[in-house]
Amino acid sequence: MKRIVIFASGSGSNAENIISFFSDNPSVNIAAVLTNKSSAKVLERCDRLGVPAFYFNKPAFKDSNAIVDFLRGLQTDLVVLAGFLWKIPENLIKAYPNKIVNIHPALLPNYGGKGMYGDRVHKAVKDNNETETGITIHYVNENYDEGATIFQAKTVIEPSDTPETIAQKVHRLEYEHFPKVIEKLLS
C-alpha cells in the first residue's frame, strides 16, 4: 500500500478532492493531512472525511526533525503540497528526494516564487493581459516553485475574464489533473 501525506494551509478543497479520488482505492492510503494553521478549514474537512489531521508550528517544521520523524513513522511514500504556503526546509527535502510534489496555479516558470500564490497569481496573470494560464505540478526543491516540472495543463483566458473567473478555471484544472498525476507517480 502506498501512503500519502498532504500538507495544506487553507480551505483544503484540493486536499478533499485528492482524499475523495483515492477513497475507493485499496492500494493508496491518505495517512494524514498536516497544516501550519490551527484555524485552517482543511481541519474541518478532514474531520468530516475521517482523515487524521494535525497542526504543527513553525519551530517544529523549520528547527527540528519532528515533521520528518512523523512522516517516517507513517511510512510515507509521497508528500503532496495542496495549497501549502511555507517553504519546505532542507531536512525534509533531503529525507524525501523527488517524493514531495506541489501544485502551482500558473504555468511555471511564469508567476512563481515567494509570495506568488492564490489570488495574487490570478491578478498578476490578468494584469499582464495573458491569453492563457494553467497549472504546474512539480517536484519540490530548496527554492519556491523551481523544482522539475511533472505536468502542466492550460486554459484560455478571455478578455472578459476577471481574476475570480481565472481562479475558477484554474481550480477546475487542479481538481481534474492533480489526483491523476499523483496516482501515476505512485505506480
What is the count of structural domains for the chain?
1
Assess if residue 69 is contained within a domain: yes
Q: What is the pLDDT of residue 167?
A: 96
Assess if residue 18 is contained within a domain: yes
Across residues 47-73, what is the average pLDDT?
A: 96
Assess if residue 150 is contained within a domain: no
Q: What is the pLDDT of residue 156?
A: 98
Question: Residue 11's domain spans which residues?
Answer: 1-97
pTM: 0.95
Across residues 27-50, what is the average pLDDT?
A: 96
Could you identify the residue written with the cell 526533525? 65
| Alpha-helical runs (H) found in the chain | 13-22, 41-49, 58-62, 66-73, 90-95, 118-127, 163-186
Residue 63 pLDDT class (50, 70, 90 cuts): very high
Q: Render pLDDT for 167-181 as a digit per residue (tens, 0 to 9).
A: 999 999 999 999 999
Assess if residue 34 is contained within a domain: yes
Q: Select which of 104, 138, 171, 177 is catalytic.
A: 104
Beta-bridge partner residues of 34:
7, 54
Assess if residue 104 is contained within a domain: no
Burial 7-24 (b: 16+ CB within 10 A, else e): bbbbebbbbbbbbebbee
How large a percentage of the chain has pLDDT more than 90? Answer: 97
Separation in Å, CA 28 to CA 5, 76, 87, 139, 182: 11, 11, 26, 20, 10
104 classed as catalytic: yes
Assess if residue 93 is contained within a domain: yes
Q: Which residue, among 90, 87, 53, 46, has the nearest Cα to 68 in the 3D structure?
A: 90
Output the average pLDDT for the chain.
96
CATH number at residue 38: 3.40.50.170
Assess if residue 184 is contained within a domain: no
Assess if residue 123 is contained within a domain: no
